[in-house]
Chain A
């Protein structure tokens, strides 16, 4: 994957987790396997994140794919920043982390977050007491804030631009996956 190889013990741990999730015991995980995780059911973005594990048109994910998705959340090592300038960009680079988040919004995969797509995510994340109108105005404003080319949608470039001051490396990393 271009990143520093995950330690052996880490792989072992994740593999045992993988097999414990794999109720069908066929070496792959289905959506149902993920949905059995109780906490995911109450996570507002749970379904979107589950979907992120599955590549286009697939409904099974093997251990390699599982790890590939998780690799996005590995912290960035200091020595990784400098080296590998010309090699393939590691999955846990800032840009890839952002792209992972971006894809959660971008349902129709047109590389743009439209107002509707944004509204859907907002509806999931924001409390039920916020009215649709209010959500709509939040969505409008969010898009206006980020939109630079005036197409009333957020492209990936705009997404990166608007989050340039956010410490994505830290906020999209999990220590456990070191």
Chain B
């Protein structure tokens, strides 16, 4: 069903795109999508060859040129057009817009999807590069530029700037930009350690940049004469305050967010909203009190993820993921486009060759020197040292981006005289790093043979054994008495498990919280999805072959329950859980299940057209399909009823009943019987119930004997009665107790029979024909007095049904397949063993009636009868 629904959705989407013939939508509504689909799928193939080639071309281009470069160039082009048309530059990258709206989504995305284990494994290196590296870069670049200025190499006399101005400029130009780094490095696919170091640095250096920028900015505004020694101390102190404060704000909101999502069970639809809202509030709150907002969002994202993901529903998880990615890439696109467009505005900047070239040279030089120096120190402490190649990539990957640009735009022209020069230089630096370095880094990485990341799907073994490694290392650290990284990580995990997770996770989520189990669960889900995708609509246990388990067939598990358990329990289908504990409650649940199932398919029921903002109603298409199905069923029932009213007066009914009882003596008619597996339930003791029953019929639809009661089949079945059935009977493996009691148990055979057809279309004519056939066959049967009760009919009904698909009699196979009810219906009717002729009414009266009463303890008065016999 899921598959056809998705293809339907595809069809609709494609139809919208390509304006397929309107016939398609009709055919979709009527529930046979295949012709429409074919048409629709043909359209794009035939009509859009040029588009295809364009896609191929663009793929070639983007494989060489990073997206960010293309966007900047596109922005330049657009800016040029705007300039040419409007005669004056419009549309700037406004710092406010950038910091308030464009930057947060990107940072949140990178924080939330940060591989936290990797991040914390390398936190030492990341922090060093972020803090020491950025400080080093700012001071050296600023001082060197000042030296260049002092040496009189800057020809343009307009560059009026002192040491403080250059340091200010150095601080804003030296920070590696997360947006630019992410845009380029995501396409390069270097190994994950290298990536996390460069990227983590670019995220965390924000605090340093912001603090340095603010400190120097205030120094410049104060003027060099008014700076006291205490101001320097304040500057240093504010660095710690801003970075640690920002982190604290992030942690606080991460905690809040996790706590909130713990209680959103009833408002699933706004779960994703909370994630975005609180992360953004964290950003704003940090920004408001002048703390590092980027750090706040980063740590909010990193820390909340574990708990949020455990709390929110699967759909919310998907929503969060895709919304976040969409927002981030939209922001990124806008930023780079606007960078390009802003550069066109010549009124904002003034060129000075010495400054531009000097800055370019210095940032490259000092970045490289800084990286080498720091790596030299770091390698003394690192388990896996960073080699030369890594250092080259790290130096070269120091891309500058929109943060620098926004900061330089924010400068006050009145205070910083050389602002225009700085703007020009920043633009050049950003363009150079993004375009030139971005273009060349990929060939460089290939040329240097940098270790690439190999993305492979996690396997259970890796997860399990890596866990074991962690424990082993923690133990060895304990033994050698060295409180190293593994020791603290172990401590943290225990703390997290004991207190934090318990506080921040839903009880249900916390219970099932285990990484190994998670991987197992995910693998199983993936298997299930790919299984369905491969067209495995026959979910019979026998055919269940999971793609990621190559050796499955070779396994010695022939037992069906075993297979069922493996396929079922992994996906948490409750099969196993219920198998083990069969308490009173389960029985009640089972009874409730019957009630629900029994009352589900009422032909006259309509869905209520309701709208709720906070609850997603079932998919419209799905409801439509159901409704169509019901309508069809109803129509069929009309014809069915009219035929029945004609033929079956109460007298004929009584006769039929007897014939039905006698049925076993007339093997030649079994094929016909098989044609209509419809049972009308009759209470044999009261004649007047006939009329009421026919009325009820309208409401209830058809009562199927999908399968006879298993008890009867096994318990009472005598060889003679089974011989009645002429064709080879397939007796399914004996079901367990649970299979009898619980409707969702043991449906292997059911599925194999009933879910075998794809079409759900119902053709009333066939039904009528079959009905007439069976009626006429019944008329022709002599009616000796039958003593047998319904039990025996039930006994062979099932074998009949089983062999139906193979029987060559007229219209039988289609008949059955058209009667393909969702398996739960047939299941429920089977496990109820059709014991409740009063159907829904009875069930409503006795909602919690035990399954035994329903299943085995049939009131003797209630007899079942095959109408068509």
* Cβ B484 vs Cβ A176 within 8 A: yes
A163–B468 alpha-carbon span in the complex (Å):
12
Q: Chain A residue with minimal CB distance to B555?
A: A144
- Cβ-based interface call for A107 (8 A): no
Q: B286 to chain A: closest CB distance in Å?
A: 34
* Set of chain A residues within 8 Å of B387, measured between Cβ atoms: 78
Q: Chain B residue with minimal CB distance to A132?
A: B580
Interface residues of A in 118-135 (CB under 8 A from B): 121-122, 125-127, 129-131, 133-134
* Cβ A150 vs Cβ B471 within 8 A: no
* Cβ A133 vs Cβ B569 within 8 A: yes
| Per-residue interface assignment for chain A, residues 72 to 102, with 1 indicating a CB less than 8 Å from any chain B CB and 0 otherwise | 0101001000000000000000000000110
Interface residues of B in 483-518 (CB under 8 A from A): 484-487, 490, 494, 497, 510-514, 516-517
* Cβ B466 vs Cβ A174 within 8 A: no
Q: Which stretch from B297-305, B378-386, B438-446, B720-728 is at the chain A interface? A: B378-386
* Cβ B480 vs Cβ A122 within 8 A: no
Name the one of B384, B456, B464, B468 contacting A75, with C-beta atoms under 8 angstroms: B384
| Per-residue interface assignment for chain A, residues 32 to 64, with 1 indicating a CB less than 8 Å from any chain B CB and 0 otherwise | 001001011011111001000000000000000
- Cβ-based interface call for B761 (8 A): no
Q: Are A138 and B511 also in contact (CB < 8 A) when A49-B475, A70-B480, A101-B465 are?
A: no
* Set of chain A residues within 8 Å of B485, measured between Cβ atoms: 175
Count of interface residues, chain A, beta-carbon cutoff 8 Å: 59
Chain B contact-residue range equals 35 or more
| Per-residue interface assignment for chain B, residues 545 to 586, with 1 indicating a CB less than 8 Å from any chain A CB and 0 otherwise | 000110110111000000001100110000011011000000
Q: Are A40 and B478 also in contact (CB < 8 A) when A163-B465, A166-B465 are?
A: yes
A159–B465 alpha-carbon span in the complex (Å):
9
- Cβ-based interface call for A1 (8 A): no
* Cβ B513 vs Cβ A101 within 8 A: no
* Set of chain A residues within 8 Å of B225, measured between Cβ atoms: none
Q: Are A130 and B517 also in contact (CB < 8 A) when A45-B472, A49-B476, A101-B472 are?
A: yes
Q: Are A141 and B465 also in contact (CB < 8 A) when A39-B474, A129-B511 are?
A: no
Name the one of A40, A45, A144 contacting B468, with C-beta atoms under 8 angstroms: A45
* Cβ A145 vs Cβ B461 within 8 A: yes
Name the one of A45, A125, A173 contacting B383, with C-beta atoms under 8 angstroms: A173
* Cβ A175 vs Cβ B472 within 8 A: no
Interface residues of A in 12-43 (CB under 8 A from B): 14, 17, 20-21, 34, 37, 39-40, 42-43
- Cβ-based interface call for B473 (8 A): yes
Name the one of A17, A44, A131, A141 contacting B549, with C-beta atoms under 8 angstroms: A141
- Cβ-based interface call for B841 (8 A): no
* Set of chain A residues within 8 Å of B469, measured between Cβ atoms: 101, 168, 171-172
- Cβ-based interface call for B56 (8 A): no
A144–B510 alpha-carbon span in the complex (Å):
28
- Cβ-based interface call for A162 (8 A): yes
* Set of chain A residues within 8 Å of B555, measured between Cβ atoms: 144, 152
Q: Are A138 and B475 also in contact (CB < 8 A) when A101-B465, A175-B382 are?
A: no
* Set of chain A residues within 8 Å of B159, measured between Cβ atoms: none
- Cβ-based interface call for A117 (8 A): no
Q: Are A141 and B570 also in contact (CB < 8 A) when A129-B511, A165-B456 are?
A: yes
- Cβ-based interface call for A140 (8 A): yes
* Cβ B466 vs Cβ A142 within 8 A: no
Q: Chain A residue with minimal CB distance to B480?
A: A17
Q: A173 to chain B: closest CB distance in Å?
A: 6
A42–B494 alpha-carbon span in the complex (Å):
9
A138–B521 alpha-carbon span in the complex (Å):
9
- Cβ-based interface call for A111 (8 A): no
* Cβ B460 vs Cβ A141 within 8 A: yes
- Cβ-based interface call for A3 (8 A): no
Q: Chain A residue with minimal CB distance to B474?
A: A43
Q: Chain B residue with minimal CB distance to A37?
A: B478
Residues of B near any A CB (own CB < 8 A):
381-385, 387, 454, 456, 459-462, 464-482, 484-487, 490, 494, 497, 510-514, 516-517, 520, 523-524, 548-549, 551-552, 554-556, 565-566, 569-570, 576-577, 579-580
A138–B460 alpha-carbon span in the complex (Å):
8
A32–B366 alpha-carbon span in the complex (Å):
56
Q: Are A176 and B549 also in contact (CB < 8 A) when A44-B471, A101-B472 are?
A: no
* Cβ A172 vs Cβ B382 within 8 A: no
* Set of chain A residues within 8 Å of B460, measured between Cβ atoms: 138, 141-142, 145
* Cβ B512 vs Cβ A174 within 8 A: no
* Cβ A145 vs Cβ B517 within 8 A: no
Provide a sorted-by-A list of 10 A–B residue pairs whose CB atoms are within 8 angstroms.
Answer: A101-B465, A141-B460, A141-B566, A144-B551, A145-B459, A145-B549, A150-B551, A173-B383, A174-B477, A174-B484
Q: Chain B residue with minimal CB distance to A148?
A: B551
Q: B624 to chain A: closest CB distance in Å?
A: 38
- Cβ-based interface call for A153 (8 A): no
* Set of chain A residues within 8 Å of B467, measured between Cβ atoms: 125
Q: Are A141 and B523 also in contact (CB < 8 A) when A39-B490, A122-B516, A126-B517 are?
A: yes
Main secondary structure of the interface of B (DSSP, over half): helix
* Set of chain A residues within 8 Å of B468, measured between Cβ atoms: 45, 101, 104-105, 121, 125
Name the one of A44, A126, A140, A145 contacting B566, with C-beta atoms under 8 angstroms: A140
Name the one of A129, A162, A175 contacting B461, with C-beta atoms under 8 angstroms: A162
Q: Chain B residue with minimal CB distance to A142?
A: B460
* Set of chain A residues within 8 Å of B486, measured between Cβ atoms: 174
Q: A63 to chain B: closest CB distance in Å?
A: 13
* Cβ A45 vs Cβ B482 within 8 A: no
Q: Are A137 and B475 also in contact (CB < 8 A) when A174-B486, A176-B480 are?
A: no
A42–B460 alpha-carbon span in the complex (Å):
24
* Cβ A170 vs Cβ B383 within 8 A: yes
* Cβ B482 vs Cβ A166 within 8 A: no
Q: Chain B residue with minimal CB distance to A38?
A: B478
Q: A1 to chain B: closest CB distance in Å?
A: 16
Q: B99 to chain A: closest CB distance in Å?
A: 38
Q: Chain B residue with minimal CB distance to A161?
A: B461
Name the one of B454, B497, B513 contacting A165, with C-beta atoms under 8 angstroms: B454
* Set of chain B residues within 8 Å of A21, measured between Cβ atoms: 479, 481
A166–B454 alpha-carbon span in the complex (Å):
10
* Set of chain B residues within 8 Å of A134, measured between Cβ atoms: 517, 569, 576
Name the one of A46, A78, A141, A162 contacting B520, with C-beta atoms under 8 angstroms: A141
Q: When A and B form their complex, which 6 residue pairs have the shortest distance between CB atoms, in order from nearest?
A: A39-B478, A129-B511, A162-B461, A49-B475, A45-B471, A176-B482
Q: B220 to chain A: closest CB distance in Å?
A: 44
Q: Chain A residue with minimal CB distance to B513?
A: A127
* Cβ B520 vs Cβ A43 within 8 A: no
Q: Chain A residue with minimal CB distance to B381?
A: A175
* Set of chain B residues within 8 Å of A44, measured between Cβ atoms: 471
Q: Are A43 and B464 also in contact (CB < 8 A) when A141-B520, A165-B454 are?
A: no
* Cβ B484 vs Cβ A163 within 8 A: no
* Cβ B383 vs Cβ A75 within 8 A: yes
Q: Chain B residue with minimal CB distance to A141?
A: B460
- A42-B494, A145-B548, A171-B473 known; 12 other A-B pairs, CB under 8 Å? A40-B478, A46-B475, A73-B476, A78-B387, A122-B464, A125-B471, A129-B510, A133-B576, A133-B577, A137-B576, A141-B520, A162-B465
* Cβ B511 vs Cβ A172 within 8 A: no
A75–B379 alpha-carbon span in the complex (Å):
13
A53–B56 alpha-carbon span in the complex (Å):
60
* Set of chain A residues within 8 Å of B490, measured between Cβ atoms: 39, 43
Q: Chain A residue with minimal CB distance to B524?
A: A141
* Set of chain B residues within 8 Å of A147, measured between Cβ atoms: 551
* Set of chain A residues within 8 Å of B461, measured between Cβ atoms: 142, 145-146, 162-163
Q: B510 to chain A: closest CB distance in Å?
A: 8
* Set of chain B residues within 8 Å of A43, measured between Cβ atoms: 471, 474-475, 478, 490
Q: Are A131 and B580 also in contact (CB < 8 A) when A141-B570, A142-B460, A175-B383 are?
A: yes
Q: Chain A residue with minimal CB distance to B551?
A: A144
Q: A39 to chain B: closest CB distance in Å?
A: 4
* Cβ B549 vs Cβ A166 within 8 A: no
A163–B85 alpha-carbon span in the complex (Å):
62
Q: Are A171 and B466 also in contact (CB < 8 A) when A130-B517, A141-B523 are?
A: yes
* Cβ B516 vs Cβ A138 within 8 A: yes
